[in-house]
Amino acid sequence: MKTSWQKSMFITYLLLLGLCIGAEIAVGVLAAPVIFFPDRFLGEGVLDHFQSGVLMTQIFLKFNVLLMLSTLLIAAYEIYLYRTKRYDLASALLFSVALLGSLAFVLYFTPYIVEAQKAGAEATATTEFRSIHNWSEIVMKAILLAQVGLFFRRVWLYLK
């Protein structure tokens, strides 16, 4: 039988996972298309692609705080489950993907993009920048899929 403390921790864990999943969808699916294609809503010539990128980066800088804080709290819960022998390989793998992806996104991709933007529009028009940016999108999708998988895996194991 689970104690009320364990139930509260589990609910908080799921809430944090859900918050991350929702924020990732909001940032990637809802905000990005509006920010990068403002001409659809405001007419031509309002923002160029570089300016849209600068705005989107500001959104991601704020998102990164939420992502890292939530990831650290989720990690604490995953460590707790490991130490109490209530873990499984699938959950560990999903969490590892989410953790490593989050660290890469926050500590590598975002700083790279910020530095390139500081260098100007020319620096963000290179093949290298496009490649790094594309990889950051792939990593964000991997984080999202891992978190969704982890959410449902933990619920399934809890109800089992």
Query: Cα–Cα distance between 94 and 60 in angstroms, integer?
Result: 23
Query: Cα–Cα distance between 69 and 9 in angstroms, integer?
Result: 16
Lowest mean pLDDT among 5-9, 106-110, 127-131: 5-9
Q: What is the mean pLDDT of the chain?
A: 95
Torsion region of 3: left, alpha or beta (phi above 0 gives left; psi -120 to 50 gives alpha): beta
Share of the chain above pLDDT 90, in %: 88
pLDDT tens figures, 112-142 = 999 999 999 999 999 999 999 999 999 999 9
Q: What percent of the residues of the chain are helix, what percent strand, and what percent coil, each to the nearest 5?
A: 85, 0, 15
> What pLDDT does residue 1 have?
60
CA 75 centroid distance within chain: 14
Query: Cα–Cα distance between 95 and 39 in angstroms, integer?
Result: 39
Q: How far is CA 127 from CA 18, 53, 54, 118, in A?
A: 35, 16, 18, 17
Q: Residue 77 pLDDT more than 90?
A: yes
Query: Cα–Cα distance between 88 and 43 in angstroms, integer?
Result: 52
The total number of structural domains in the chain stands at: 1
* Domain membership of residue 115 as a residue range: 4-159
The residue type found at 81 is L
Q: Tokens for 31? A: 């905000």
Confirm whether pTM is higher than 0.85.
yes
pLDDT band at 150 (very low <50, low <70, confident <90, very high): very high
Q: Residue 56 pLDDT more than 90?
A: yes
